[in-house]
Amino acid sequence: MFLSRPDLFRHIESEELRFDPMISESQVAQVSIDLRLGEHFTVFKNFPEHISAIRMAPTLWQSEDLWKEMDAPSFILEPGKFVLAQTLESVHMPKHLMGLIEGRSSYARIGISVHVTAPKIDPGFIGQITLEMANFGKARVELRAEIDKPAQLLVSRVSTPLEESDQYGAHPTTDVFQYQTSPLPRSSG
């Protein structure tokens, strides 16, 4: 069951569900919380000729040949291109709640997808949420940090609150996105 606006406010006021910086009342909609875009953007570099393909491996995230990270007040997302961005807000999800990150319809209508396939925010997660943004439209789109709200967080209760040992972040070698400050995961050791 998704939490409605009154329940969201109760969890925020009790500080069970926390945001840093704090969200405004206007960011809380009927059954979701609008999240602002942060100023950190990560893109694939132009691939060197000696890299014919990439594969999913822990070393992928540390490859300086593949990634370009930048902080900027805005980012132009070209048609057919992809960027890893982050929410401005860091989210602290308590043990009895989980979230789903979704795009907002106003951005979808101009061709912007906010997540490719990773919408789940686990109980215990603390950090900024990475947005896997793609432009499927025909126009260049300016993404403005601290102004645009391209994503919404839906919050749901879990059937049984998780013990600390089962919450996200309890396993540092696999829970590599805990306390993330970059869209690229920290080393999994």
Q: Which residues are catalytically annotated?
A: 132
State residue 32 phi and psi, 5-degree precision.
-155, 170
Cα 84 from Cα 93, distance rounded (Å): 21
Question: Alpha helices of 1-156 — where are they, by DSSP H?
Answer: 5-13, 105-108
- Residues 117, 62: Cα–Cα separation, whole Å: 22
CA atoms within 13 A on the CB side of 179: 6
Q: Is the alpha carbon torsion for 134, 136, 137, 139 positive or negative?
A: positive
User: 125 exposed, middle or buried (CB, 10 Å; 0-12, 13-18, 19+)?
Assistant: buried
